[in-house]
Chain A
Amino acid sequence: MSHDETLKESLTRNGVSRRGFLKFCATAASIMALPPSMVPAIAAALESARRPSVIWLSFQECTGCAESLTRSHSPTVEGLIFDAISLDYQHTLQAAAGDAAEEAREEAMKENWGKYILVVDGSIPLGNPGYSTIAGISNLDMLKETAKGAAAIVAVGTCATFGGIPKANPNPTGAVSVSDIIKDKPIVNVSGCPPIPVVITGVLAHFLTFGTIPELDELGRPKVFYGNNIHDRCYRRPFYERGEFAETFDDEGAKKGWCLFKLGCKGPITYNACATAKWNEGTSFPIESGHGCLGCSEPNFWDMGGFYKALSQPAVDVSQTAAYALGAGAVAGLGIAALNRKKKADVATDHQTVTIHDLRRNDPSKTEAEDS
């Protein structure tokens, strides 16, 4: 497929019928978290969409984000979205290496100057450029150079969006996020460790469909995916409201599916789409599997107290607060968001590391002596 061919032309050339195209649009709308009534508009936009060039840079990362995407559950539709873009550089996936790979990047930049999408996963070390280089070029130099000609940047994963695990205390490499360095380009932060694959493709599909980036929250994340916190959409929420909490991972409460707040769930301060988009072909998400949310799509999640340490306390009666906010004519979500942010700040200052003892404290078969 050439850069000048539209997505529609490419599908037709591949023998995809109009019905197939409509199915693609319906699924794309669902991926973009847009209402199904938008399908005709999406179809009209995609019919004339031209194939954008994508350059994907990987810095201090574990490749989990690319794994999440390439192993995502919908090879057909997501594959089509990938066919619909031109992935001109991705050093993990491309066959070329070394100078040949760098030439491909430079050529793609030159050919599509001002129009390409730059995808970045991984954080950028500022401590010493030697911590992470590609073909002898430091991450910082490569990012600055490649960002110059980009139409927009998609930072994928919590490392690229907020510094992530490399930035965790004591941040030995001086890791920073993409938005700490690039200030003059639109940046979409697709956070998560890793991000939900459909969220990554959702952002690309949005760019493909509308030629723009989606509406962002104050942390630069697309509102359609990060507009709600996990707690607000969690199916265990009724147990939270009733004060029914699992106290250990194998007590009666855990077996009955009660709220995991006391086991360290960070759902109340975490904004992401896991509760609806889910993972592994929509099978479940961590809370559905019996483990609290780690808060991986939030800045500094690694340093937000122990994973198994409860947030300060469920002292704030959220439903009550929402009622006050509504009574005052305010938007309930705003009141709760402010509270959650305060809670998050409190948690950050109350940092505590996890010990083996913390992990074992719920296992009655382990004694103190064994732990020490």
Chain B
Amino acid sequence: MSNVNTCASLDTGNDILILHEIRHALRKLLDDGESTIIDLRAIPMAPGEEARIEAMLGQGELSATLNALGKSTINETAFSGAWLITHYNTEDEILGKFIEISKLPSILASQHEDIEVALEQLTHQLLV
């Protein structure tokens, strides 16, 4: 299936609604420290709308790549506190796209369980 009917005038208006939602989420983050995650795949979009949202959000200071079950890109947008997270599978196909409004996306932090494994491994290595 290809997008044969792409047309500049097609618009669900959801791109603007998402920007409003991000604005509210940023306010909530500042006031209560509460994070929000928006699943972009759960929202109906006209052809080109998702790309338009991404263009409007722009690129901020920080980008990170995670390699776990395929690649994930975690990019801070031009609006500090709003992050665009894209999960890919091992074939580089997109599995999910999320906007996380938080100081640091939770998936970036080293995880307790992984640190435990690391401690065990390092201890073992020093003993050998």
Q: Chain B contacts of A282 at CB under 8 A?
A: 41, 94
Interface of A is mostly: helix
Q: Chain A contacts of B37 at CB under 8 A?
A: 35-37, 39
Q: Choose from A27, A256, A281, A290 the contact partner of B87 (Cβ within 8 Å).
A: A27
Question: How distant is the Cα of A289 from the Cα of B7 in the complex, in angstroms?
Answer: 12
Q: Chain A contacts of B70 at CB under 8 A?
A: 76
- Kindly state whether residue A325 has any CB partner on chain B within 8 Å: no
The closest CB in chain A to the CB of B37 belongs to A36
- A284-B3 contact, Cβ under 8 Å, with A36-B38, A234-B44, A277-B41: yes
The closest CB in chain B to the CB of A22 belongs to B107
- A256-B44 contact, Cβ under 8 Å, with A36-B39, A235-B12, A285-B1: no
Task: Enumerate A279-306 residues with CB–CB distance to B below 8 Å.
Answer: 279-286, 288-290
Q: Chain B contacts of A238 at CB under 8 A?
A: 11-13
Q: Is A288 within 8 A of B41, CB to CB?
A: no
Task: Enumerate B1-49 residues with CB–CB distance to A below 8 Å.
Answer: 1-7, 9-13, 37-39, 41-47, 49
Question: How distant is the Cα of A236 from the Cα of B7 in the complex, in angstroms?
Answer: 11
Q: Is A257 within 8 A of B10, CB to CB?
A: yes
Q: Is A75 within 8 A of B90, CB to CB?
A: yes
Question: How distant is the Cα of A73 from the Cα of B1 in the complex, in angstroms?
Answer: 14
Interface of B is mostly: loop
CB distance from B126 to the nearest CB of A (A): 22
Chain A CB within 10 A, most for which of B4, B13, B94, B114: B4
- Kindly state whether residue A332 has any CB partner on chain B within 8 Å: no
- A27-B1 contact, Cβ under 8 Å, with A75-B89, A76-B69: no
The closest CB in chain B to the CB of A256 belongs to B7
- Kindly state whether residue A3 has any CB partner on chain B within 8 Å: no
- A20-B42 contact, Cβ under 8 Å, with A283-B1, A289-B2: no
- A76-B114 contact, Cβ under 8 Å, with A33-B42, A288-B1, A288-B3: no
Q: Chain A contacts of B44 at CB under 8 A?
A: 233-235, 275-276
- A16-B69 contact, Cβ under 8 Å, with A22-B111, A288-B5: yes
CB distance from A13 to the nearest CB of B (A): 12
CB distance from A273 to the nearest CB of B (A): 10
Q: Is B114 within 8 A of A23, CB to CB?
A: no
Q: Is B69 within 8 A of A77, CB to CB?
A: yes
Q: Chain A contacts of B10 at CB under 8 A?
A: 235-236, 257
Q: Is A19 within 8 A of B42, CB to CB?
A: no
- Kindly state whether residue A271 has any CB partner on chain B within 8 Å: no
Q: Chain B contacts of A24 at CB under 8 A?
A: 69
- Kindly state whether residue A26 has any CB partner on chain B within 8 Å: yes
Q: Choose from B45, B47, B87 the contact partner of A26 (Cβ within 8 Å).
A: B87
Q: Is A17 within 8 A of B1, CB to CB?
A: no
- Kindly state whether residue B106 has any CB partner on chain A within 8 Å: yes
Q: Is A284 within 8 A of B2, CB to CB?
A: yes
Q: Chain B contacts of A236 at CB under 8 A?
A: 10
Question: How distant is the Cα of A63 from the Cα of B94 in the complex, in angstroms?
Answer: 26
- A276-B72 contact, Cβ under 8 Å, with A18-B111, A19-B114, A75-B89: no
Q: Chain A contacts of B113 at CB under 8 A?
A: 17-18
- Kindly state whether residue A255 has any CB partner on chain B within 8 Å: yes
- Kindly state whether residue B68 has any CB partner on chain A within 8 Å: yes
Proximity bits, A1-41, B CB within 8 Å = 1, else 0: 00000000000000011111011101101100101110100
- Kindly state whether residue A254 has any CB partner on chain B within 8 Å: yes
Q: Choose from A27, A255, A276 the contact partner of B42 (Cβ within 8 Å).
A: A276
Q: Chain B contacts of A233 at CB under 8 A?
A: 44
Q: What are the 3 closest A-B residue pairs judged by CB atoms, nearest first?
A: A20-B68, A36-B37, A18-B111
Q: List 16 A-B contacts (CB under 8 A).
A: A17-B111, A18-B113, A20-B69, A23-B107, A75-B91, A76-B91, A235-B12, A254-B5, A255-B5, A256-B9, A257-B5, A279-B1, A284-B1, A289-B2, A290-B4, A290-B5
- Chain A positions near chain B (C-beta within 8 angstroms): 16-20, 22-24, 26-27, 29-30, 33, 35-37, 39, 73-77, 80, 233-238, 254-257, 275-277, 279-286, 288-290
